[in-house]
Amino acid sequence: MVLGDKHRFAVEVGEGGQALRPVDLWAAGKWLTCDDNMAFVGQFRRAVLETADRLRSGGGSPLPFGTLSPEATHRRLTLLAGADDGTGGDYAFRSRFRVLAWGPTTDNVTAYLFRVGDRSVLTVQFWRKDHLAEHPEDADAVFVAELPTAEFAGILEDLVGQLDAVLPKTG
């Protein structure tokens, strides 16, 4: 079962065991977990839940560079990553916007989240050379998805529920 809309943000959890389970993610019509869709259930679940909790608690920052588009903002944040002088200032700044940093399953993309009123704007860019060689249409592309923040948080919470279904019950 697909949760969400693949043209905005969606997830699909496959059958699997307690430790590893296939999880497919889409944003802006792009399959994000194309390099590795096997999630380490416990770690992945915690990371997704942290993101959902952050969204529900009002977390997320607005677009930081005035009138720049989400795509241009993504590019500027990525440039800052390359120019980081090691002092941690740029890293701390970028970290306010990083999202989908959920481990090996999502480490093939750079993704940022911006809050615009009651909506979440997600930007995603593939960076692995192997992926870009196989999908030249993704080279230098920044994909942008926008959806209500409550919907985004709900999809993430439903994902956690699906992952909980395979975790051993304790207590």
- pLDDT tier for residue 103 given thresholds of 50, 70 and 90: very high
Q: 18: helix, coil or strand?
A: coil
- Would you put residue 7 in left (φ > 0), alpha (ψ -120 to 50) or beta? alpha
pLDDT number for residue 153: 98
**Burial (0-12, 13-18, 19+ Cβ within 10 Å), 134:** exposed
DSSP structural state of residue 76: H
pLDDT single digits (tens) 11-29 = 999 998 889 999 999 999 9
**pLDDT averaged over every residue in the chain:** 92
pLDDT single digits (tens) 85-99 = 555 667 788 889 999
CB 123 within 8 A of CB 112: yes
pLDDT number for residue 79: 86
pTM across the whole model: 0.91
The answer, yes or no, to whether residue 169 has pLDDT greater than 60, is no
Give the helix/strand (H/E) hosting 49: helix 41-56
- pLDDT tier for residue 76 given thresholds of 50, 70 and 90: very high
Tell me what the mean pLDDT of segment 50-65 comes to.
94
Q: Which of 156, 67, 72, 79 is nearest to 116 (CA)?
A: 67
Pairwise CA distance, residues 126 & 141, whole Å: 8
Beta carbons within 8 Å of 125's beta carbon, 6+ residues apart: 74, 78, 109, 110, 111, 141, 142, 143
User: DSSP states of 101-142 as a string?
Assistant: --STTTTTEEEEEEEETTEEEEEEEE--HHHHHH-GGGTT--
